[in-house]
Structures are given as C-alpha cells and as structure tokens.
Amino acid sequence: MVGPFGGITAATLLRAAEQHPGRLGDPLALTVNFAGPVADGPFEITATPVRTNRSTQHWSITLTQDGTVATTATAVFGTGRPTWSATEIARPDVGAPEDVPVRPSPGHVAFVDNYEIRFVEGALPDGVSTARPDSTTTLWVRDAPARPLDHTALAALCDVFYPRVLLRTGRFVPAGTVSLTTYFHADAARLAEQGDRPVLGTARAGAFGHGFFDQSARLWGRDGALLATSHQWVYFKD
C-alpha cells in the first residue's frame, strides 16, 4: 500500500467539485484513478465542470503535487426527481450494530482510527490467519468521532474495506487501489435522515489474476436504504 487511505483522496477530490460555485446538484457518480502516491505536504486540486446539461453536470478533477499528476478523477453531479423506485439487490441479513463489538485499533494503519468499525463477518486477518474460500467482509462503520453523514464522508467510506486479497490469501501482501468508482444512490435528504448512525457495508471480490483483482462494495443506511454502490480495480503482489 502506497500513499494515504484512498478513501480520503477520493473524498478530497469530490469535495473540490462540491465547493465549486458552479456546481449543480448532488454527486451521482465518481471515478478516482490513483496514478501515484500522495506524499505528506501541499497539493493542488483542479476541478473543472467540462459540461453542464439541464439535470447533469460532468467534471474533470486532477490532483497534482510538485507539478506531477498524482490522482485523476471524473464526477457526475445532478439533480434527481421523484420516480418509480425499487431496490433489487439484497441487504445482508444481520442484527443491530450493538450486537457486535467495536474493533480495537490495530495501531499500525492510521486511517482505521478515524472509523468506528464493527465486523460482522470477514475481519482483517491478524497475521496468523489462513486462506478463505470467500472474500466477503460485512461490517458496521461510522466516522470516529461520530458526525452526520454527507456525500464526502460516504465517498471515503466506500473504500474502508481493505484489499480483498488479504482476506482470501490470509497474508499481508502489498496491494493498492488503482481505480475506484462510486455511485451515490442517496441524495442529501436521505443522508440527512441517516445522521451519524452506523452504516452497514459489505464487500467482495470478483476475480483475482495476473497481479490485479476487482472488488465491489455496498453501503446500506437506516430503513434498508441503499446509500452507495462502489467498485474498484486493485493491484497486488504475491
């Protein structure tokens, strides 16, 4: 793993577009490409609305450090309207957040201390684990300290699941996200309803091979609302 937690990079790029005075509506889709590590120190983000339509707006976003491109992104913002709705994928059948303990800080990964995580299934291997036949992790998570959920925080949360190759192999192999795409099902009103309650998240890999794999995540809010779906392409070494 090189550079900081990918989720905070994604959230920071999204926030740059959100703060632009010409911004239209809420985030709908975000793709962040981790082209190189971001070092501790100053960086610059350029967020450009490349095309604004009646109900959607397309963004190009770039993070540079010392004149070198470290991260690129595209985002779609837009305004929704009431339509027929249905959630087709199933929320994991789990109990309440209080049914599972908060994971103690592992100490060695800084970003984890910014989250209150309760593993329901598929906790991070502790170094003496063995391989598993399935890479699923299901957990409850919220910011630590707790604060109301917004799209920026949701963008970061989608990357809170560590690389699935660690769980499948049971070994701490080097791995890092190459590209991360998130779809925001929740609008600002839905996120306001969520408040600072824990979010239920689940993640699983698709397939591993020739140094890369994909993984997908789903984040669920109160009343069984799907808040976001997210997908990433990850590099690994074995």
User: What 3-state DSSP class applies to 4?
Assistant: coil
Would you say how long the chain is, in residues? 238
Letters for 177-216 (x = contact with a copy of itself by CB under 8 A, - = none) are -xx-x-x-x-x----------------xxxxxxxxx-x-x
Span 128-147, contacts to a copy of itself by CB under 8 A: 134-135
CA–CA dist 30, 64 (Å, integer) = 18
118 binds a copy of itself (CB under 8 A): no
174 binds a copy of itself (CB under 8 A): no
81 binds a copy of itself (CB under 8 A): yes
53 binds a copy of itself (CB under 8 A): yes
Say if residue 188 is exposed, middle or buried (CB neighbours under 10 Å; 0-12, 13-18, 19+): middle
- Given a contact cutoff of 8 angstroms between Cβ atoms, the answer to whether 187 and 179 are in contact is no
233 binds a copy of itself (CB under 8 A): yes
What's the token pair of residue 225? Answer: 């609302």
- Given a contact cutoff of 8 angstroms between Cβ atoms, the answer to whether 9 and 32 are in contact is yes
What's the token pair of residue 180? Answer: 């991360």
Q: Which positions touch a copy of itself (CB under 8 A)?
A: 28-29, 31, 33, 35-36, 50-51, 53, 55-56, 58, 60, 62, 68-69, 72-74, 76, 78, 80-89, 134-135, 168-169, 178-179, 181, 183, 185, 187, 204-212, 214, 216, 218, 226, 229, 231, 233, 235-238
